[in-house]
Structure 1
Amino acid sequence: MATMNISLPDKMKQWVEEQVATGRYANASDLMRDVIRERQEKSAAIARLQAEIDKGRASGISDKSVDEIFAEARKKAIAALKARDAAA
């Protein structure tokens, strides 16, 4: 495992120490690994969302009404929930 040293303002250092003091983390490194993992997951989720936005923009303007679009989305969501429940 690689080592990296970072500099933090006093308030951030204090926050890190408080988080470690709760007992949830063994040390500051454990906390930082957790924070980085969360940030990686968030970045991946944002990238997936952006890809869907790009796909939607590239598909052009729909000839469906807003009500038709929402009705179709509702049907898809209900079908997905039923499929999920059936698999459980």
Structure 2
Amino acid sequence: MAETKSASAQSSSARAQTETAVEDLAAQVAALREDLSRLSQSLAAVGQGATSVVAEEAQEITEQLRERVREEPIFMVAAAAGIGYLIGLLSRR
């Protein structure tokens, strides 16, 4: 009978430890989910910032190219023809 009480006490202790471990795991999972949520928000903000920087750079380069074409139209036509010729040669191979 003493063995039954001892086994029952051990079983209760094991259940209590298991419940504590499960609660701890649930808290850790909740914390991880919160961290992942914040991380995804941070990544989205970085992505939006990078997109705006790239868009501004592309706009600036486009404007510089337009200005150069206005200043030297013949040179730009010749350069475009030369680049097209080189691409044509490379695409034949």
TM-score range, shorter chain: 0.3 to 0.5
Which structure shows the higher helix fraction? 2
TM-score, normalised to structure 1, is 0.44
TM-score when normalising by structure 2: 0.42
Q: Which has the higher contact order (CA 8 A, sep 6+)?
A: 1
